[in-house]
């Protein structure tokens, strides 16, 4: 298809060469410097030359067109209609202006050039009209809201704001999740909102573990106390030590469930048994291990997957593909295979704050 388009563009170049040839022939000051005086031969040379020029410039023109298309697609992606309206209006005004300007060239002295100039004006001014509003964007939704501000909105379309809405539920940290330590990084990313509650009986259990004669348990207990201290230092206003205890209950899990039910709090835990028991009693549980499983890399090193190479990568020889969920796959030594489907072997995977990235190589290489 691309080869056919290249020949079509070359044919267009040949057609453009005709008015250019007329321009040369009908200007004596130019003809003085041309040794060839045969008009048919001049037409042939100019038309062949313009055709060859566009034939060899086709990859550059195609790349520019793709960049333009991607630019427009990027600007319009995930936008609602009200945001696109100014750009649509700008495009229409640009086309109208191009029509008015192109009509002024109808009397252009060189026959055949009028349509070339017209097409160029429509393309350039139309594109400017489309892109200019993005630099001076007006969200018409705000304007429409102002128009409706003094109108009576039907009851069924009103959205009432209840001042008694529940605040974000505090979360109780159990012993296992404190010792685990990942709660600090998760809270730092602001995926968890609200107050973190550490009951006094959880602190007592950490103190008891840290005083254990077993080296492993003692190390875990001290790590848990260090995590609590770090949370208090970094998020002093959002960390609460709950003093209330339940002496009638012996184990910490029962106390956690009782506290969560009485105060309508959520529990953050890594304990599988606590997770099950609390869930059966209708308590909301946030399990750190479930979160880790949800964001883990979907493929593992050594796994073979089928991909479609779409474009070149940043480094020499690289090609880029994507999984169905949008994860980028960088395939080494495969730039010459762009546009093809092939199996690749995953070599490594990288998780960053910007998203996931997978590195692979063609199978059999």
262 burial class (0-12, 13-18, 19+ CB within 10 angstroms)? exposed
Q: Is residue 146 part of a domain?
A: no
Position 352 scores a pLDDT of 63
Region for residue 350 given its phi and psi (left: phi exceeds 0; alpha: psi -120 to 50; beta: otherwise): beta
First to last CA, the chain: 30
- Domain of 67, in residue numbers: 2-140
pLDDT above 70 as % of the chain:
77
Q: Is residue 287 domain-shared with residue 352, that is, in the same domain?
A: no
Q: Is residue 241 domain-shared with residue 327, that is, in the same domain?
A: no
Bridge-based pairing of strands 266-269 and 285-287 is parallel
Q: Is residue 339 part of a domain?
A: yes
Q: Is residue 122 domain-shared with residue 237, that is, in the same domain?
A: no
Q: Is residue 223 domain-shared with residue 178, that is, in the same domain?
A: yes
Q: Is the pLDDT of residue 164 over 50?
A: no
Between 95 and 315, whose confidence is greater? 315
Q: How do residues 47-62 score in pLDDT, each as one tens digit?
A: 888 888 888 888 887 7
Q: Is residue 318 part of a domain?
A: yes
- How high is the mean pLDDT of the chain? 77
Q: Rounded to whole angstroms, how far apart are CA atoms 32 and 277? A: 98
Q: Is residue 50 part of a domain?
A: yes
Q: How do residues 118-140 score in pLDDT, each as one tens digit?
A: 777 777 877 777 666 655 444 44
Q: Rounded to whole angstroms, how far apart are CA atoms 363 and 337? A: 13
**pTM greater than 0.75 (yes/no):** no
Q: Is the pLDDT of residue 152 over 60?
A: no
Q: Which of 90, 124, 140 is the last residue of a domain?
A: 140
CA angle 33, 36, 37 (to 5 degrees): 100
Q: Is residue 245 domain-shared with residue 341, that is, in the same domain?
A: no
> Residue 189's pLDDT band (boundaries 50, 70, 90)?
confident
Q: Which of 101, 121, 140 is the last residue of a domain?
A: 140
Q: How do residues 292-316 score in pLDDT, each as one tens digit?
A: 777 766 677 888 888 899 999 888 8
CATH no. for residue 216? 3.40.50.1010
CATH no. for residue 347? 2.40.50.140
Which tokens go with 290? 């479930």
8 Å CB contact between 148 and 158: no
Closest to 267 measured CA to CA, from 334, 315, 197, 325: 197
Q: Rounded to whole angstroms, how far apart are CA atoms 336 and 319? A: 8
Segments of the chain assigned E as strands: 171-173, 196-199, 239-242, 266-269, 285-287, 304-308, 311-312, 319-322, 328-331, 341-352, 355-362
> Residue 158's pLDDT band (boundaries 50, 70, 90)?
very low
One DSSP character per residue, 101-115 reads HHHTTTT-SSTT-HH
> Residue 319's pLDDT band (boundaries 50, 70, 90)?
very high
C-alpha distances in angstroms, 315 versus 246, 305, 326?
A: 62, 22, 20
Q: Which residue has the tokens 């060859």?
A: 52
Count up the domains in the chain and report the number.
3
Q: Is residue 156 part of a domain?
A: no
Q: How do residues 223-249 score in pLDDT, each as one tens digit?
A: 999 999 898 888 888 888 888 888 888
Closest to 174 measured CA to CA, from 273, 81, 56, 88: 273
Q: Is residue 341 part of a domain?
A: yes
Q: Which of 294, 320, 350 is the last residue of a domain?
A: 294
């Amino acid at each position: 298809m691309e080869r056919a388009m290249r020949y079509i563009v070359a044919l267009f170049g040949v057609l453009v060469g005709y008015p250019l040839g007329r321009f040369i022939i009908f200007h004596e000051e130019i003809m003085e410097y041309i040794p060839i005086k045969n008009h048919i031969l001049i037409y042939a040379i100019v038309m062949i030359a313009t055709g060859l020029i566009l034939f060899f410039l086709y990859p550059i023109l195609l790349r520019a067109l793709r960049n333009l298309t991607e630019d427009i697609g990027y600007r319009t992606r995930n936008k609602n209609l009200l945001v696109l309206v100014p750009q649509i209006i700008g495009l229409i005004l640009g086309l109208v202006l191009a029509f008015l300007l192109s009509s002024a060239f109808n009397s252009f002295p060189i026959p055949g050039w009028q349509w070339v100039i017209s097409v160029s004006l429509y393309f350039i001014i139309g594109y400017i009209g489309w892109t200019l509003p993005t630099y001076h964007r007006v969200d018409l939704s705000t304007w429409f809201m102002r128009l409706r501000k003094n109108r009576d909105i039907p009851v069924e379309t009103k959205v009432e704001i209840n001042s008694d809405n529940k605040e974000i539920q505090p979360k109780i940290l159990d012993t296992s999740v404190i010792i685990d330590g990942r709660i600090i990084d998760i809270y730092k990313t602001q995926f968890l909102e609200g107050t973190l509650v550490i009951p006094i009986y959880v602190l007592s259990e950490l103190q008891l573990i840290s005083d254990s004669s077993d080296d492993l348990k003692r190390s875990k207990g001290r790590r848990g106390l260090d995590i609590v201290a770090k949370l208090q230092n970094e998020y002093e206003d959002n960390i609460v030590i709950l003093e209330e205890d339940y002496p009638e209950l012996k184990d910490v899990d029962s106390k956690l469930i009782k506290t969560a039910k009485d105060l309508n709090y959520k529990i953050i835990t890594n304990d599988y048994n606590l997770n099950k028991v609390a869930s059966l009693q209708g308590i909301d549980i946030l399990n750190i291990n479930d979160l880790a499983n949800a964001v883990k890399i979907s493929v593992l090193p050594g796994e073979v997957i089928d991909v479609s190479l779409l474009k070149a990568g940043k480094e020499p020889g690289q090609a880029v593909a994507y999984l169905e969920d949008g994860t980028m796959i960088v395939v080494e030594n495969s730039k010459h295979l762009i546009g093809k489907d092939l199996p690749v072997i995953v070599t490594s995977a990288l998780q960053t704050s910007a998203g996931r990235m997978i590195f692979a190589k063609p199978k059999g290489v």
